[in-house]
Structure 1
Amino acid sequence: MERFASVTGELDTLVDSGRLTGYVCGIRENGRSRIAAGGTRSRGGPALDEDAVFPLSSTTKPVGGVLALRLVELGILALDDPVAILLPELSAPRVLTRPDGPIDRTVPAGRQITLRHLLTMTAGVGWAGAGSPLTDAMSERQVAPGPYAPPMEPDEYLRLLGGLPLVDQPGRGWHYHTSSDVLGVLLARATGATVSGLVAEHVTGPLGLADCDFTADPDRIPTCYGLGPDGGLRSLDIRSMFAHPPRFESLACGLASTVADYLAFLDILVDGGIVLGPEYVEEMTTDHLTPRQRAGAEGFIGPGCGYGMQVEIRPDGVVGWAGGLGTIGYVDRRTGRCAAVFTTQAFDVPGTADALDSVWALLR
């Protein structure tokens, strides 16, 4: 396909110029995938293979959205029930009087947090802005938003998070990331199962995705790079994170996958396939943001875009999400064409954004 060859050629140019270490990209349509790889597994190392496994970071979130809606479809949870029934740590939250204010200046929450709030990032938990007292407090407790799973057990995570105020009233603003980690704890408590068990039972198992999981063979994971303090590349310790089951199975950022498996997952967002009823796919891929929430999401979603349930909603019918460690996956729901670009370097490395932007050309 001429378009695919053109895009891989542009990615190879980024590799040749030294702006990209390695990539795997692919498209999927009518049940068939085409995948290509370029660059190396590490700087000066062997060529990168098409079946390499990448940390998804935030590209995990759409998987969490599908899983949660499957449990709603099964009647295990309801979108508008208070989560405090299962998460008593969030039963009586306090709310900052202003998002950048002191964490001891709060008022009671005016309503309970619901599953719908978690799925749409409007629960009042999440990114409170760089340098704000709440962000600093979350960082001190190791529960702040980031590309890695919290380094603790889920109950401890909820205890620490629940001891802090919300950044906004539930249902009022849009605040990134943390809702997805709370979501995972909710789903596990609702079912008595592990998050990994739920993902396997309801998503990856039915789809036959052998390489989308919370653990991975370290030998299949390429070296991932971030930006070092000197402006050069520094390797990130990704392999060890996936070598053993994590203490916290994060639906915000905890999965690893091949491009092939992620493309097959994206098919769900067209009509649900064997995983999810079409009415629930519509719910997930409908923009749920108010104008105020959309303003709060600026910088996270593109101009003119909205947010559904764990996915960005673009005006042209394209939905999906990207991850801070250099992955992106979207699907055009009108045509059924899926596209993904996974790289070996984080978003802060020059060249990564250019590589990820090639996903739009793959979808045309």
Structure 2
Amino acid sequence: MIDRKKAIWAGACVAAGVIAMAAQAQYGGSGSDTDGFLVQLAPATEPSASATAAPLATAALTSTSTTVGGYIYDWTDLQAAIDADTEVDNGYFIVGNAIDPDYLFAYEKGSFDIDRVTPLASASKWFAGTLAMRMVEAGIVTLDDPMRPPLAFWTTFGTKKDVKLKHTLSMTSGFNASPLVGGCQLLPAMTLYNCAKSIHDLRYDSLRPGNAPGAQYSYGPHGLQIAAAYLEAKDTSIEPGSTPARQRNIHELFSQYVTDPLGMTNTTWYDPSGSAPTNPWIAGGAYSTPRDYAKLLRALLGGSFITDMTTFTQQRTAGLPRIFVPSGASDWEYALGSFVECDMPADCATSKINSSPGAYGWTGWIDRETGYYALIATEISSGGDRKGVELEQQMQDLIEAAIAARTPAS
């Protein structure tokens, strides 16, 4: 167990995330950008609260104890901490493991249904890493793939030529001077390919010394947009043998490799009240529900949906200069679409906790050491990025204590 700290996300990220999400929802123009903060796995039996708890659709558990998998868990302290938080008025909270089909803990505070479709902001980033890793394990791409030839516009000169897929997914591509830098990811009528070309041409900061791929850590949206364009361009055909081969778009790839296998029926990389854009905002434009996102977390924790979890979750930014990192994650490292949590950077080498917080407070994480996943599903218009991580840190200690203190049911 690592010591917890109260993490504070940069206020600038929140403001930028709110602006950018609004622009994406309206298919807006350029302006200020940024983020707010496969082996087919058969869908697991639909999780439920447990025999001793009220059904998931109810407003709250009738008891702070649950009986799951032959053990009794006491969630009194966890639920009390959630209820005492005055900044999260409405939310859905889930704790589960990879073995039991029922949730260990499920609680609705205020009004926030388990099937409420919600913007995820930067919690979308885990989708990008998951899709890429699933395509790696399907043999379609490798993490060491260069951007060219699939992205035919990519330069063959300078350090930019050396950008690989792993760099675009780990915030080490040489792009992303800051999330506050504008970009085409908020122009949904473009194509991913053309957006990646725009980022390639305009957003690589060649003036900063040492800005080679893999040499600096800078958190932002541009690398993930390039990664998605690469995955789309690399794919061959949705109909093998057809002439000409039909290239799957990013939405079809996401469905095939992530949402369909997991039964995530209400998860999209765009506002589902509209139509699917040709250039979705990869780093911050996805929507999901608590029920759906919990399915992803459970699958990642289980280790069969992505079999090489070491490669997927390991830190990739250790020792690198930090050009821009949200202040609440200043001691954390970055993996492929998720943070590696630790109190000091040196601790991240052995940390088993990965998370992907968003600007509206939506925060999911997996703890492979303790053996659980958890989700804070909420939508806070102001200060959500800070609050989500603060509450997550508090919940982690309480969840670990409840799991350690569980008792046999008989």
TM-score (norm 1): 0.73
- Residues 310-340 of structure 1 show CA distances to partners (whole Å, capped at 9, x for unaligned) of 1111244111211112211101112330001
Tell me, yes or no, if the aligned pair for 1:84 and 1:113 is still in contact at 8 Å: no
Partner SS state of residue 163, structure 1: helix
* CA distance in structure 1 between the aligned counterparts of 2:352 and 2:335, rounded to whole angstroms: 12
Q: Does 1:198 align with 2:266?
A: no
Match of 1:180 among 221, 224, 227: 224
3-state SS, counterpart of residue 91 of structure 2: strand
Q: 1:110 to 1:201 in 2, by over 3 A?
A: closer
Give the Cα separation in 1 of the matches to 2:79 and 2:333: 29
Pick the aligned partner of 1:189 from 209, 229, 233.
Answer: 233
Q: Distance in 1 between matches of 2:153 and 2:256?
A: 27
Q: Whole-Å Cα distance in 2 between the matches of residues 287 and 332 of structure 1?
A: 15
- d(CA) in 2 for partners of 1:216 and 1:128? 25
Matched residue, 2:59: none
| Match for residue 102 of structure 2 among 21, 25, 32 | 32
- Larger deviation, residues 312-321 vs 64-73: 312-321
Give SS of 2:253's match.
helix
Which whole-Å CA distance do the structure 2 matches of 1:151 and 1:115 have between them? Answer: 22
1:143 corresponds in structure 2 to 184
| Deviations 1:96-125 (CA, angstroms, capped at 9, x unpaired) | xxxxxxxxxxxx426421111112111111
Q: Specify the SS of the correspondent of 2:202.
A: coil
- Whole-angstrom CA distance in 2 between matches of 1:25 and 1:322: 14
Q: Deviation above 6 Å: which 4+ runs of structure 1?
A: none
**Of 137, 151, 155, which aligns to 2:193?**
155
**1:164: how far off?**
0.9
Partner of 2:359: 324
Q: Aligned residue for 1:69?
A: 133
- Aligned-partner Cα distance in 2 for 1:352–1:304: 17
Write the distance in 2 (CA, Å) between the matches of 1:129 and 1:254.
14
The corresponding residue for 2:310 is 282
Contact 2:188 2:281 in 1 (8 A): no
2:314 and 2:151 mapped to 1: Cα distance? 27
1:81 matched to 2:118: no
Q: Distance in 2 between matches of 1:112 and 1:91?
A: 9
C-alpha distance in 1, partners of 2:161/2:198? 21
Contact 1:58 1:252 in 2 (8 A): yes
Residues 199 and 222 in structure 2, CA contact (< 8 A), matched pair in contact too: no
Q: CA deviation at 1:265?
A: 0.6
Q: Deviations over 1:328-355 (max 9, x none)?
A: 1101112330001022214635855544
Query: What is aligned with 1:333?
Result: 368
Q: Which residue of 2 aligns with 1:233?
A: none
**Count of aligned pairs:** 299
Unaligned segments of structure 2, at least 5 residues: 1-64, 66-72, 206-210, 236-246, 342-347, 401-410
Query: Is residue 2:251 matched to residue 1:248?
Result: no
Deviation at 1:87, TM superposition (A): 1.5
- The 2-side partners of 1:156 and 1:75 are apart by 25
Q: What is the CA–CA distance in structure 1 between the aligned matches of 2:398 and 2:166, rounded to whole Å?
A: 32
TM-score of the aligned structures, taking structure 2 as reference length: 0.66
Deviation at 1:160, TM superposition (A): 2.2
Q: Give, in whole Å, the separation in 1 of the partners of 2:150 and 2:135.
A: 14
Structure 2 residue aligned with 1:232: none
Change (3 A) 1:175 1:346: farther
Aligned residues with identical type, % of pairs = 21
**Structure 2 counterpart of 1:328, which letter?**
T
Deviation at 1:4, TM superposition (A): 3.7
Native 8 Å contact 1:327 1:356 kept in 2: no
**Structure 1: which amino acid aligns with 2:189?**
M
Of 396, 402, 406, 1:360 maps to: 396
Structure 1 position 303, deviation (Å): 5.2
Which segment drifts farther, 185-194 or 261-270? 261-270
Matched residue, 1:169: 212
8 Å CA contact retained: 1:35, 1:50: no
Q: Amino acid of the residue matched to residue 183 of structure 1?
A: A
Between the aligned partners of 2:327 and 2:151, the Cα distance in structure 1 is: 27
Please state how far the C-alpha of 1:268 moved relative to its aligned partner.
Answer: 3.2
Q: Within the alignment, does 1:257 sit opposite 2:288 as a pair?
A: yes
Q: Please report the RMSD computed on the Cα atoms of aligned residues, expressed in angstroms.
A: 2.7
In structure 2, the CA distance between the partners of 1:363 and 1:186, relative to structure 1 (3 Å rule), is farther
> Within 2, Cα distance between the matches of 1:28 and 1:124?
37
Partner Cα distance (2:93, 2:394) in 1: 9
Please give the alpha-carbon distance, in whole angstroms, between the structure 1 residues aligned to 2:387 and 2:302. Answer: 34
**What's the secondary structure of 1:291's corresponding residue?**
coil
| Alpha-carbon distance in structure 1 between the residues aligned to 2:143 and 2:298 | 23
- Note the residue ranges of structure 1 that are not aligned, 5 or more in a row: 40-46, 94-107, 218-241
1:83–1:110 Cα change, 3 Å:
closer
Find the aligned partners of 1:326 and 1:320 in 2 and give their Cα distance. 12
Cα deviation for residue 357 of structure 1 reads 4.1
1:53 aligns with 2:84: no
2:168 to 110, 114, 118: 118
